[in-house]
Amino acid sequence: MKQAVIFDMDGVIAHTNPYHSLAFRAFFEKRDLYPTDAEFAEHMFGKSNSYILKHFLGRPVTGDEFASMEEEKEGLFREIYAPHVKDIEGFSAFLTALKQAGFQTGVATSAPRANLDLIMGRLGFEKQMESVMASENVTRHKPDPEVYLKSAANLGVAPVHCVVFEDSFSGITAARNAGMKVVGVLSSHTREELPPCNAYIHDYTAIQPEDIRQILNT
């Protein structure tokens, strides 16, 4: 029986959220908007760009305007983050251990593919992933389960046999809506700020493939 582990990217593979905050601050400052840290925590982390722009600009942003604004902000992010790409402690070793243990693995992010390519390129994990999903691959964003259901289909693994690593309220909700087990990564939020998970980690140094098997068997 095949089993799979699927990783979100931002806050799960790499601690990118502080750099997204810097990019959004620069983006919004050009428009005389100055969101607080609390507003970012509630309305940015784990949210799609369409939601974030709609919330902070106070109106829907669609079509060519959305494409232009998204590329502006994500270009700022890649420029700011490129010199600092680093995985969350223990991720690379844990991913290697999962592959040695026979798990299918995938990445499923709400970020644009260009961001994913930057991080995958620097960290070199693409060859270890049987499924790679970014925002361009779905029409409905987290908390909708589409990205996780498509990932499971790509991996050839039933959702009930998948464990997702997520750090945000919407991401955890998406994984649960997909019928998957979830490990909460406490990089951006406390346990109390997130929906219930099957386990929690601060980084990957204290988790092993055997723990994933145990989660799937409960």
pLDDT tens readout for residues 41-95: 888 877 888 899 999 999 999 999 999 999 999 999 999 999 999 999 999 999 9
Q: Please say which residue of 25, 51, 83 terminates a domain.
A: 83
Torsion of CA 81, 86, 89, 91, to 10 degrees: 110
Q: Which neighbouring-strand residues pair with 183?
A: 165, 199
Query: Whole-model pTM above 0.85?
Result: yes
Q: Please say which residue of 50, 83, 116 terminates a domain.
A: 83
pLDDT at residue 102 greater than cutoff 80:
yes
Domain shared by 32 and 123, yes or no: no
Residue 120 is part of which domain span? 4-15+86-216
Backbone angles phi, psi at 89, to 5 degrees: -50, 125
Confidence band of 114 (pLDDT split at 50, 70, 90): very high
Q: Which contiguous run of DSSP H or E holds residue 6?
A: strand 4-7
**Total count of domains within the chain:** 2
Domain shared by 62 and 38, yes or no: yes
CATH assignment of the domain containing 24: 1.10.150.240
Q: Please say which residue of 27, 55, 83 terminates a domain.
A: 83
